[in-house]
Amino acid sequence: MTTTPCPGCGLILAERLAPPPPEHGASPACFALYGRALEHQSRRFAQPPAGRLLLDAYGAQHPMDGGRMARDNLAVHLIALHLALVRHVPAESMPSTLRRVLRGRRDFPELPRPVPLGVLTVASMFGPNGAPIDELEAQAEAARAWASAVWAAWSDSHGLVARWVRDSGVFNEDD
């Protein structure tokens, strides 16, 4: 069996013969596993307590190379991680808060890419039996741990992301 490491998260999985995902710097096998995690979350939990954490953890862990769209996508994922993990914006108000912070802002700068991109991967959303974590609290906790690991890997950019959020004026300065 041929195995390949994911260029984003480093996860080593059995090679999957499929085109690489268009919007992520990920291996096809890693992207398929992510698809399973997302699919399970939306099928299992009407209101996933983790909100968009899976989306942002995966996006920030699998940035595309170059280009304005790639830079903007990454910036949005990092801003969302900052809002969830630093500002503790609850999942239900995340979409509106993120929209207000971004307010159509685009053209973010290129960020130095950390290596490695976090000590946890999408594999942590699955139990030892290979099935997706099915219990609500445990699922939320796993998502949070994974997202925190990815966020921690981007520590060199924390100050810049905090400034983008501060400059949006959505939060009071003395928060």
Q: Is residue 9 a contact point for Zn ion (CB under 5 A)?
A: yes
Residue whose entry in the numeric block shows the structure tokens 């920030």: 60
Between 29 and 102, CB nearer to Zn ion: 29
- How many binding residues for Zn ion (CB under 5 A)? 6
To the nearest whole angstrom, how small is the minimum distance from the Cβ of residue 47 to Zn ion?
Answer: 27
Residue from 25, 29, 30, 149 touching Zn ion (CB under 5 A): that is 30
Which CB atom, from 19 or from 104, has the smaller least distance to Zn ion? Answer: 19
Question: By CB under 5 A, is residue 26 in contact with Zn ion?
Answer: yes
SS3 5: strand
Closest CA to 144 of 57, 73, 83: 57
Site membership for Zn ion, residue 120 (CB under 5 A): no
User: What are the angstrom distances between the C-alpha of 49 and each of 41, 84, 122, 146?
Assistant: 10, 12, 17, 14
> How do strand 3-5 and strand 12-14 relate by DSSP bridges?
antiparallel
| Residue number with CB closer to Zn ion (41 or 97) | 41
